[in-house]
Chains A and B, each alone.
Chain A
Amino acid sequence: MSVRPPPRVLVLRCPGLCEPGVFERVIAVLTRFCPAVEAVEPGVCAFGARGPARYFGGETVLAGKIIAAMADIGVEGRIGIADGLFAALLAARPVTGRPVTVVPPGGTAEFLAPQPVSVLMDQGQDQDLAGLLHRLGLRTLGDLAAFSVADVASRFGDAGEAAHRLARGGSRPLAVRPPAEDLSVAQEFDPPETRSEPVVFAAKALAERMLSGLAARGLTCVRVQVLASWADGRESSRRWRHDGVLSAAGVADRVRWQLDGHQAADGHPGPAGPAADDRTTTGGIVLLRLVPDQVVRATGHQLALWGETAVSDRVARAAMRVQAMLGPEAVLRPLTGGGRDAREQVTHVPFGEKGEPSRSGGQPWPGRIMGPAPGLVYPENREARVTDEAGRAVTVTGRCIVSAPPAALAVDGGPSRPVIGWAGPWPLSERWWDPAAARRRARFQLETDDGRAWLASVQDGRWQVEAAYW
């Protein structure tokens, strides 16, 4: 079976370059050589090399020009040119040692044959498959390519077939993105607008323009960035979750909240709730810009039938108003998961973001304190002093032997209260394999004479209160 040779592809790999801002600049420079560039993954982009190479006078010359252009913006990159994306990606790998590797047309099979099968892993192929092939004695892509596609497919399924196709020099076509269009919209206010109402009104029209511009291209955005500039040079920039479901009025609402929040943060505490409409902003707003952030293809929006608590508009509005005042991290949704501490069993996710509990639930988590959960879990441990009858600090040895029964507890340097009941020590040695996160503690439950109970722990001879029960 013969595979039609794929088109010539140039891959630019900039190692260790994952910041989106810098990568955008790299792509912007590349579009001077070819307008249709695919961003394969952060730090790696590709384009069809045939046309540009002919225009600039050969593939090596083109690669040299790109390397020079990258050096101008302070980026070091490696270039691989080959038939097909897969071979070009391999050619651009740093192991080759040269900044530019050109695999001549038709030489792809020869280039691929000695490559180890482990390179398949880098290409999003099944990790298990690469390991399996290796254990079966198929060490190189050439070994794999020597089999017929039917043999490979019958034994290794779809993943095997895909790997076989890559080994034979086949590759997927490039998914180039259209040249980055500026889909943002902006309006200037001259003279500066001192009231927020006209700005919000203008925002609605702007949002309609932006959304129709996106819709005309079959696109949508994950977030909308709202930028406002005041005459005195102050700026406010905030990203709002959009997910393709926000109407123009919804965007205008967020602009209003952002402006309100900016004023609130500026030291106009006072009124609760929407106060007088005629308040003025210092200097007035001169520019309002809406920028679609993370533009993606619009695929429609499907709400989950089960398992996703629908956040009503009313709640979302309230939460976002507060986020506009205090920042997105200020409004959190709790997720309960597993863990040994009361603290680590709850993960907080900013409202509007999706998250997972940091420790998975449904597992036993040995060493967890049984019984009722504490009503107060301090974000930071509070210093404590635990003393025995004689007023000496209670100590715990490495073998968990308590020097004397705890008789008094003082939290944060406060008054000392008699301890009327205690239990412990419960040793807990966590993450000993990771020196940075390793902790070795002995925990106690203490009840003081006012009927309150505390979860205290000793670590390195220091008593701390982690949580309280009342």
Chain B
Amino acid sequence: MLSQAGEPTPGPTLGSAWISPSAGGILTVLPALRDLLPRGGLARGSVVAIAEFGLLCLALAAGASADGAWCAIAGVPEVGLLAAVGLGLDADRTLVVPDPGLSWPQVVASLLDGCELVLLRPPSRAPVAVQRRLEATLRRAGGVLLVAGEWPGAHLCLRVSRQWWTGLGDGHGRLRACRAEVTADGRGEAARTRTRWLWLPAEDGMVAAVDPADLPPAEAPDAGDPPRLQAVGAG
């Protein structure tokens, strides 16, 4: 079942009438992602915004899903489920709503009632009032809303600031693994910006931390120019 967080601080947001048994807990994430998140997991009742839909969204969802949570993916018809399954997502506990339509806030609210984790790419910009109402539903249900896109007031924002692949040559090879620099910041306890280099995905399709030795000095964090493939050497 879902693991409970080490820190059982419910936070001020959980003062609603019904508190789920696991309120104040976290949803597990993949081990490589723990460092990025202030509590080492996705805080229940929180909104996590990811700048753009991609493997990072799927990786964030995969840990909870592998741990027994139901996941819903709404508004992303192009979701690569094979990659998600490779990251650890359990397809048997996944609902996909490719097109939530115009009344997507209601759809998401319904999904939040049933699923611990909802990955949403809003089809349109929601008025602030609708956002607040969804956040209230989220706190009541004790789930986590991952938003691929903008969400003003999100508790945590993640983005892939740089990435490059290994394995492709000039007319030969194939994609093998990708180094991605992931940056996380947010409000409150997440205010401190965290940056990590991850294999997203690693050669086995999973996520792993990049050994600093794998980052040549020229490619190390804070290097000015975007990385060039040729500089990677051993791929």
Contact = CB atoms under 8 A, between A and B. Distances in A.
Given A317-B114, A451-B163, A375 B169 contact: no
Interface stretch (A118-126, A128-136, A384-392, A420-428): A420-428
B114 A315 contact: yes
Interface string A416-445: 000011111000000000000000000001
Nearest to A469: B175
Contact of B205 (A319, A345, A373, A423): A373
Given A371-B176, A372-B177, A315 B95 contact: yes
Nearest to B235: A421
Contacts of B205: 372-373
A351 B173 CA distance: 40
Contact of A315 (B77, B115, B167): B115
A180 interface: no
Contacts of B86: 372-373
Nearest to A313: B114
Interface stretch (A182-190, A194-202, A205-213, A320-328): A320-328
Interface string A289-329: 00000000000000000000100101111110110011000
Interface string B164-188: 1101111111111110100000000
Contacts of B53: 376
B23 to A, nearest CB: 16
B34 interface: no
Given A272-B133, A342-B82, A445 B175 contact: yes
Contacts of A467: 80
Given A322-B107, A345-B82, A423 B115 contact: no
Interface residues of B, number: 69
Contacts of B82: 336, 342, 345-346, 373-374, 377
Interface of A, secondary structure class, is: mixed
A423 B85 contact: no
Given A309-B92, A335-B91, A371-B176, A420 B97 contact: no
Interface string A246-280: 00000000000000000011001111110000000
Interface in B44-76: 53-55, 58, 70, 72
B170 A422 contact: yes
B81 A346 contact: yes
A273 B177 contact: no
B114 A318 contact: yes
Contact of A470 (B102, B114, B163, B176): B163
A273 B106 contact: yes
Contacts of B175: 371-372, 423, 445, 447, 453, 469
B113 A379 contact: no
Nearest to A273: B109
A333 B95 CA distance: 5
Interface of B: 53-55, 58, 70, 72, 77-86, 91-103, 105-115, 130, 133-134, 137, 160, 162-165, 167-178, 180, 201, 203, 205, 226-229
Given A447-B175, A451-B180, A467-B80, 12 more contacts: A272-B133, A318-B115, A330-B97, A330-B100, A333-B92, A373-B82, A373-B85, A376-B80, A420-B229, A422-B168, A423-B173, A453-B175
7 contacts: A315-B95, A318-B110, A369-B174, A371-B175, A377-B81, A423-B173, A467-B80
